[in-house]
């Protein structure tokens, strides 16, 4: 064990986050997402929900400062009248860690799958909320 590392993050995930470079992407996927069939690297976090993982990851994972939208969501179908409520939780978590973060990108379902295939890794969770999938684009650590 180490100090100040959120215990929700398994060693395999910490290793992957450390390996990732600027511009690499990681998917945090809900329980319905076909992660095993799409992933180059798959991390199982079945007993956890996305908001708690997102909060733990963003404590030390820099988002890409050089793109307008380093966070992407799987867009709701046009037949849905409202966006998923879990997106409001994501906004609160992102605002807590990345004060200058702008809007989230929304990607159509099958285009999201295509982008997920190219991601560095996919984290499969036990999240039950629909359309809870999110992609994070890694930035650079800037020493102050």
For residue 45, the number of C-alpha atoms closer than 13 Å in the C-beta half-sphere is 29
Residue in 30, 64, 90, 120 annotated catalytic: 64
Residue 46 annotated in active site: no
d(CA 39, CA 93): 25
Kindly list the domain boundaries of the chain, sorted by start residue.
23-131
Give the predicted TM-score (pTM) of the model. Answer: 0.94
What pLDDT sits at residue 3? 87
d(CA 40, CA 55): 24
Q: What are phi and psi of 10, to 5 degrees?
A: -70, 155
The answer, yes or no, to whether residue 27 has pLDDT greater than 80, is: yes
Residue 22 annotated in active site: yes
Residue 97 annotated in active site: no
> Domain 23-131 adopts which CATH fold?
RbsD-like fold (3.40.1650)
Average pLDDT value for residue range 76-95: 88
The answer, yes or no, to whether residue 51 has pLDDT greater than 80, is: yes
Rounded to the nearest 10 degrees, the angle between the axes of helix 50-57 and helix 86-97 is 10
What are the pLDDT digits (tens) for 102-136?
Answer: 789 999 999 999 999 999 999 999 999 999 999 99
Q: Between 80 and 90, whose confidence is greater?
A: 90
């Amino acid at each position: 064990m180490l100090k100040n590392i959120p215990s929700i993050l398994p060693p395999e995930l910490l290793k992957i986050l450390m390996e990732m470079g600027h511009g690499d992407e990681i998917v945090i996927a809900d329980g319905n997402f076909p992660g095993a069939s799409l992933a180059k690297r798959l991390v199982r976090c079945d007993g956890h929900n996305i908001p708690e993982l997102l909060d733990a990851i963003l404590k030390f994972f820099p988002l890409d400062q050089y793109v307008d939208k380093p966070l992407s969501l799987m867009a709701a179908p046009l037949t849905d009248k409202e966006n998923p409520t879990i997106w409001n939780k994501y906004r609160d978590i992102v605002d807590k860690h990345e004060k200058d973060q702008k809007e989230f990108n929304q990607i159509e379902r099958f285009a999201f799958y295509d982008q997920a295939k190219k991601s560095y890794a996919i984290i499969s969770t036990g999240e039950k909320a629909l359309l809870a999938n999110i992609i994070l684009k890694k930035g650079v650590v800037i020493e102050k």
